[in-house]
């Protein structure tokens, strides 16, 4: 791949980040993670185009970074995180279900993806999206399973255009075994593989996209309850395992 003219760098005012990073695309999830945090927050500040909190647990420091919605913004943030020494990134996010056994409030770990975003192609050759880090995937799955929660894994479709999730696309991807849709995952997998760092994600199903209707669950108790539970378990997983 051709050499880039501009490369991400750690600026003179940028902090040295710990290896462990929790990233959230949305302010809602970042706020939940911060409020649930049982550890000491040692720093909270603006970080490039997003916000940063440095936390301390029994293993040392970790960072909470976000928000950053959509592939281009999320990847710009990830590039800066990597330039500042972040190496193990867990994204906590939400996704839409295409059916195939996923409903609002379910926990989902994507293990492969189809890209309809425009960022991945700048980091990889061809259309084969790199998988997430399976060590982190297995650690997250084990943490949820040991606590008695069902967690599903599968393929996700990442798009830049949430208002162009058409009936034909939903039908086609569902027939191809795709379980969910989001706006960041495949792009972040591509950046992580290119930069040789670890990345995986835990998602909570926020809405359901069927061929003839949309079932938004953003304000429902199933989604809100699962989001808090999922955030709490990810925080524990990052402390205990990752």
Under 8 Å CB-to-CB from 71, ≥6 apart: which residues? 117, 118, 119, 120, 158, 160, 183, 184, 186, 187, 188
| Cα(72)–Cα(36) distance, integer angstroms | 28
Instruction: Report, as an integer, the average pLDDT of 158-184.
Output: 95
| Domain boundary assignment for the chain | 20-240
Residue pointed to by tokens 């995937």 = 137
pLDDT band, very low/low/confident/very high, at 48 (cuts 50, 70, 90) = very high
pLDDT tens digits for range 3-30 = 899 999 999 999 999 999 999 999 999 9
Pairwise CA distance, residues 223 & 217, whole Å: 6
Q: What is the pLDDT of residue 136?
A: 97
**Mean pLDDT, residues 182-188 taken together:** 98
The reported pLDDT for the residue numbered 1 is 62
**How far is residue 114 from each of residues 25, 91, 118, measured CA to CA in Å?**
19, 18, 12
Instruction: Please give the CATH topology (third level) of the domain spanning 20-240.
Output: Rossmann fold (3.40.50)
Give the pLDDT band of residue 187 (cuts 50, 70, 90).
very high
């Amino acid at each position: 791949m051709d050499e880039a003219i501009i490369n991400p760098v750690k600026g003179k005012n940028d902090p040295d980040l710990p290896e462990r990073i929790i990233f959230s695309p949305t302010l809602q999830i970042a706020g939940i993670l911060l409020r649930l945090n049982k550890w000491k927050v040692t720093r909270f500040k603006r970080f490039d185009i997003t916000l940063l909190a440095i936390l301390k647990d029994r293993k040392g420091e970790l960072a909470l970074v976000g928000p950053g919605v959509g592939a281009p913004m999320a990847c710009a943030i990830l590039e800066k995180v990597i330039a500042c020494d972040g190496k193990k990134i867990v994204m906590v996010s939400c996704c839409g279900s295409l059916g195939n056994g996923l409903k609002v409030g379910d926990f989902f770990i994507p293990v492969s993806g189809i890209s309809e975003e425009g960022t991945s192609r700048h980091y990889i050759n061809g259309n084969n999206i790199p998988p997430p880090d399976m060590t982190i995937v297995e650690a997250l799955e084990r943490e949820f399973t040991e606590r008695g929660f069902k967690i599903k894994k599968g393929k996700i479709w990442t798009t830049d255009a949430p208002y162009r999730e058409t009936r034909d696309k939903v039908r086609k991807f569902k027939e191809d075994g795709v379980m969910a849709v989001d706006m960041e995952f495949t792009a972040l997998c591509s950046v992580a593989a290119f930069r040789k760092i670890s990345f995986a994600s835990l998602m909570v199903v926020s809405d359901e996209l069927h061929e003839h209707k949309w079932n938004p669950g953003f304000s429902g108790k199933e989604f809100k309850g699962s989001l808090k539970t999922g955030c709490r378990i990810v925080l524990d997983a990052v402390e205990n395992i990752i």
